[in-house]
């Protein structure tokens, strides 16, 4: 584990009060952990913008009854096969399927994959979640 460093931060009282209320709602045990997460998040956004490697999970629901949709979804995934690590298909209800696509690669490409899938007729919902890869 990395060595820990301590440093002081000066903030307006109103700002630290608002921050404390915010982190209490998010169930952080202390300010340090909350500030660590803010820094990690900011570095992840930087990584994203600079085209760094990230992990992404695409979660989508779509109509089971549109038969051609399944093959379109698979065709698109094959176009990005270097990004796709794993997929899981769940028959959510009689009408709907849930698909989870786990990816790793350039954020921009993962976003492109997600937006191509989202644009397909019959896709009801799609959410892309990104996580940092590496030491941060
Ligand atoms: Ni299904």
Q: Crossing angle for the helix pair 107-118 and 67-79, nearest 10 degrees?
A: 170
What are the pLDDT digits (tens) for 35-83? 998 998 888 888 777 878 999 999 999 999 988 999 999 999 999 999 9
What pLDDT, on a 0 to 100 scale, did the predictor assign at position 52? 84
For residue 10, the cross-strand partners are none
Share of the chain above pLDDT 90, in %: 68
Centre of ligand 1 from the C-alpha of residue 63, in Å: 8
Centre of ligand 1 from the C-alpha of residue 89, in Å: 6
The per-residue pLDDT of the chain, averaged, comes to 91
Centre of ligand 1 from the C-alpha of residue 61, in Å: 9
What are the pLDDT digits (tens) for 88-99? 999 999 999 999
Centre of ligand 1 from the C-alpha of residue 100, in Å: 12
Centre of ligand 1 from the C-alpha of residue 82, in Å: 24
**Are 82 and 105 within 8 A, CB to CB?**
yes
pTM for the full model? Answer: 0.75
Q: Is the per-residue pLDDT at 1 higher than 80?
A: no
What are the pLDDT digits (tens) for 27-43? 988 999 999 989 988 88
Centre of ligand 1 from the C-alpha of residue 95, in Å: 8
Read off the pLDDT of each residue in 119-133 and give the average, rounded to a whole number. Answer: 93
Centre of ligand 1 from the C-alpha of residue 130, in Å: 25
Centre of ligand 1 from the C-alpha of residue 90, in Å: 5
H helices of 26-106, where?
Answer: 31-49, 67-79
Centre of ligand 1 from the C-alpha of residue 47, in Å: 35
Q: Is the per-residue pLDDT at 136 higher than 80?
A: no
| Torsion sign (Cα): 59, 61, 64, 66 | negative
Place of tokens 């993962």: 110
């Amino acid at each position: 584990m990395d060595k820990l460093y301590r440093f002081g931060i000066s903030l307006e009282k109103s700002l630290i009060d608002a921050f404390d209320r915010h982190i209490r709602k998010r169930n952080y045990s202390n300010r340090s952990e909350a500030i660590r997460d803010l820094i990690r998040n900011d570095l992840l956004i930087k990584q994203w913008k600079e085209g760094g490697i990230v992990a992404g999970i695409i979660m989508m629901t779509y109509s089971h009854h549109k038969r051609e949709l399944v093959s379109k979804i698979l065709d698109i995934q094959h176009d990005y096969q270097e990004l796709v690590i794993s997929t899981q298909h769940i028959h959510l209800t009689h009408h709907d399927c849930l698909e989870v696509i786990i990816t790793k690669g350039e954020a921009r490409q993962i976003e492109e994959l997600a937006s191509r899938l989202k644009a397909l007729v019959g896709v009801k919902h799609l959410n892309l979640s990104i996580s940092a890869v590496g030491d941060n």
